[in-house]
């Protein structure tokens, strides 16, 4: 009888150890670095509008259509405006550029590939809009507090990267930042330094004389 009890006890201990080791190896998150695996992902969407055009550019009614479409799409900073014109008419491009300038936007060089062909006599205006998000956030997959791998939480990075993706004005900046020239940066810095140097000292005009005899007790 005692031998049977010993065998059952040994089997129970072995089963407990096996479940414990399996639980340690099967933790949902094993990221032991401080680099978050929850990174922003940028998705692009193209919106198109076909207009009647010719060698002389866009007619007034077509320009009004384009302006109303821009207003309905609420174009703003971060959107890319491009023109797909089989005739490559400079007048058409100039008309579109003038309307896009009302919204503070410039035309992009070239146009993305869109569905269908653009027939001669038609011009396709493309709005490319990017959206940033962090897939898998929030992540509360790991509910327990134990951590035998010394790893970060399953939702580590969701707060910072989620806010960054929501607040960035141009999601394209998350892929490649804005480029600039060192000359522009130097000129901008020199303006502030020159303004500081030319500022007159506060005591140059003298101290304003003021009598302390006036007034009542």
Task: Let me know if residue 38 belongs to a domain.
Answer: no
DSSP 3-state of 50: strand
pLDDT in tens, 108-129: 988 888 888 888 889 999 999 9
Distance CA 16, CA 49 (A): 66
Q: Is the pTM here over 0.75, yes or no?
A: no
pLDDT in tens, 88-103: 899 999 999 999 999 9
Which residue in 103, 56, 57, 59 sits closest to 81, CA to CA? 103
Q: Per residue of the chain (217 residues), what is the pLDDT tens digit?
A: 444 445 555 554 444 444 444 444 445 557 778 888 889 999 999 999 999 998 888 999 999 999 999 999 999 998 999 999 998 899 999 999 999 999 999 999 888 888 888 888 899 999 999 999 999 888 887 766 677 777 888 888 899 999 999 998 888 888 887 776 555 566 677 888 888 888 887 777 666 766 666 655 5
Sign for the CA dihedral angle at 79, 80, 81, 84 comes to negative
Residues β-bridged to residue 107: 81
Task: Let me know if residue 203 belongs to a domain.
Answer: no
DSSP 122-187: EEEEEEEEEEEE-TT-S---------TT-PPPTTTTHHHHHHHHHH-S-GGGGTSPPP--HHHHHH
Task: Let me know if residue 176 belongs to a domain.
Answer: no
Matching residue, tokens 């014109």: 85
Task: Let me know if residue 60 belongs to a domain.
Answer: yes
Task: Let me know if residue 15 belongs to a domain.
Answer: no
Task: Let me know if residue 155 belongs to a domain.
Answer: no
Task: Let me know if residue 3 belongs to a domain.
Answer: no
Helix (H) or strand (E) holding 9: helix 2-25
Domain tally, the chain: 1
Determine the structural domain holding residue 123 and report its residue range. Answer: 44-129
Q: For residue 64, what is the domain's CATH number?
A: 3.30.1330.60
Task: Let me know if residue 119 belongs to a domain.
Answer: yes
The two tokens of residue 145 are 């507090």
Residues β-bridged to residue 191: none
């Amino acid at each position: 009888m005692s031998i049977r009890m010993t065998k059952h006890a040994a089997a129970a201990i072995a089963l407990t150890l096996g479940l414990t080791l399996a639980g340690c190896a099967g933790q949902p998150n094993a990221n032991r670095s401080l680099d978050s695996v929850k990174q922003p992902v940028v998705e692009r969407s193209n919106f198109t509008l076909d207009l009647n055009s010719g060698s002389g550019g866009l007619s007034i009614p077509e320009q009004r259509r384009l302006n109303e479409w821009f207003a309905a799409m609420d174009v703003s900073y971060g959107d890319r405006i491009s023109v797909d014109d089989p005739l490559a008419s400079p007048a058409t491009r100039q008309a579109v550029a003038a309307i896009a300038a009302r919204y503070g936007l410039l035309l992009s060089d070239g146009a993305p590939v869109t569905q269908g062909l653009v027939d001669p006599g038609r011009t396709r205006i493309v709005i490319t809009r990017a959206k940033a998000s962090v897939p898998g956030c929030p992540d509360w997959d790991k509910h327990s507090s134990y951590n035998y791998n010394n790893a970060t939480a399953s939702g580590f990075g969701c707060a910072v990267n989620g806010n960054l993706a929501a607040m960035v004005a141009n999601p394209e900046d998350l892929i490649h930042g804005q480029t600039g020239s060192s000359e522009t940066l130097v000129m901008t810095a020199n303006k502030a330094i020159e303004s500081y140097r030319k500022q007159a000292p506060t005591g140059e005009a003298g101290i304003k004389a003021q009598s302390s005899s006036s007034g009542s007790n």
